[in-house]
Structure 1
Amino acid sequence: MEVATSMAQQKPTLSADDWADAALDAMVDGGLDGVAVEPLARKLGVTKGSFYWHFANRDALIRASLERWASRETEQIIARAKGVKQPRKRIQTVFKAANGSEREGHLYLALAAASRDPRVADFVHKVSQRRLDFLSECYRALGLPTRDARKWATFAYSTFLGTLQLRRDNPSALPPGAMFNEYLRLLIETLIPRSGEQPPAANEQAA
């Protein structure tokens, strides 16, 4: 009854997406345990009535947050990349977007660390699979056979995840400021094959 009264008296000034973004910020700092309604309400400067206007409970907020993360950090980036006609530049667009935000990198690692929770595990798996599938499509567009395209996609994605881990665990190991762009260019040159180039695994087998 108290919740219903609060909802009736207070039309929310925040959207569901505002709450979802705040929950994602909390995950960056404290993992899944950092998502709690009262602290989020205080941070946003509203009462809990605003929360219950949009969500039935904390689980609903967590799901909405994960859906927003998957959309923003995967589907929106893929949609933007699909608008790039040249396959090589399409892959570059993905890499630059993926490495553009330190916050999003920390968020991904926080979610991966919470992947024992089945709610999170399902989203992390789907996002990872979607990214790998799209990268494979991009590498096939370069003219690589399906098997080799998958190898390059896996190589690229695992390198990206390694950079995220290093950025969190030992940020001073990565070049600062403008020098990071040089590092990113090196990654792109290494991870996008030229015409006729074989994936690393194939080179090793040939050797």
Structure 2
Amino acid sequence: MVHRKNQPSRESGRLAAQDWVDAALTAIGEGGLRAVAVEPLAKRLGATKGSFYWHFPNRDALIEAALSHWEETNTEHVIAVVEPETDPKRRLRSLFKAVPAAATTGDPIEVTLLTSISHPQVAAVLRRVTERRIAFVTQIFTDLGFPADEAHRRGVLVYTAHLGQIQLIHAVPQALPSDVEGQRRYLDTLLRTLTSKG
């Protein structure tokens, strides 16, 4: 799952905190962290700065809320969807299908955040997300019968493949197969390579 642009969900004529979070994530996707500024966001939402300060004490608090929401929807929600699959090979396949499907919706936030790694709030969320994702995939390889060290190495390999894939999706999408059959063959090759014990 990825962040989606939403229409403001006014309650009794007042914007909710989530409206500001959604607007901040949209701004990050369009122009990075520098695009998260109270006045332009208020204008986008048709609100006043007072509405912002009703929900957040400052810009940093909004950025923290936006990054936490992105972390939840792009990591925890994806894991929650994939985790119930009991067969580890099918779980890994489901994960590889879920993540590119999310990325192809055009959400540029993850790519943008990777370019903002020097920002302390971004660095913290990317560290948490990376550790959580690698741990989840490592567990899949453990469930496939790999020793702990090898399972971790393959978990890291899967994550580097993920980062490369989202970069291609946003920068050079024609480098990846676009037809269903080509995507299936690509995924089959990727999974065969990653799960081979030979």
Do Structure 1 and Structure 2 share a fold, with TM-score over 0.5?
yes
More helix, by proportion: 1
Do the aligned partners of residues 179 and 15 (structure 1) sit closer, same or farther apart at CA in structure 2, a change above 3 Å counting? farther
| Backbone CA RMSD of aligned residues | 2.2
In structure 1, list runs of 5 or more residues that go unmatched: 1-9, 199-207
Please list the CA deviations of residues 158-206 of structure 1 after superposition, one character each: whole Å capped at 9, or x if unmatched. 0111111122222222233546633652455345415xx25xxxxxxxx
Matches within 5 A, 1:1-207: 13-102=14-103, 106-176=108-178, 178=180, 181-182=183-184, 185-186=187-188, 188-190=190-192, 192-193=194-195, 197-198=197-198
Amino acid at match of 2:26: D
CA contact (8 A) 1:32 1:114 kept: yes
In structure 2, list runs of 5 or more residues that go unmatched: 1-10
In the alignment, the residues of structure 1 paired with residue 12 and residue 119 of structure 2 have an alpha-carbon distance, to the nearest angstrom, of 33
CA contact (8 A) 1:16 1:54 kept: yes
Please list the CA deviations of residues 14-48 of structure 1 after superposition, one character each: whole Å capped at 9, or x if unmatched. 32222112211111111111111122122222222
Please list the CA deviations of residues 40-83 of structure 1 after superposition, one character each: whole Å capped at 9, or x if unmatched. 12222222222222111111000000100111111111122221
Do the aligned partners of residues 20 and 183 (structure 1) sit closer, same or farther apart at CA in structure 2, a change above 3 Å counting? farther
CA contact (8 A) 1:77 1:97 kept: yes
- Which protein shows a greater Rg? 1
In the alignment, the residues of structure 2 paired with residue 129 and residue 140 of structure 1 have an alpha-carbon distance, to the nearest angstrom, of 16
Q: Please report the TM-score for the alignment, with normalisation by the length of structure 1.
A: 0.81
Q: Secondary structure at the match of 2:128?
A: helix
CA contact (8 A) 2:29 2:107 kept: no
CA contact (8 A) 1:27 1:107 kept: yes
Please list the CA deviations of residues 117-162 of structure 1 after superposition, one character each: whole Å capped at 9, or x if unmatched. 1111011111011100111011101111111111211111101111
CA contact (8 A) 1:139 1:153 kept: yes
Q: Please report the TM-score for the alignment, with normalisation by the length of structure 2.
A: 0.84
In the alignment, the residues of structure 1 paired with residue 189 and residue 175 of structure 2 have an alpha-carbon distance, to the nearest angstrom, of 15
Q: Which deviates the most, 178-187 or 100-109? A: 178-187
CA contact (8 A) 2:108 2:170 kept: yes
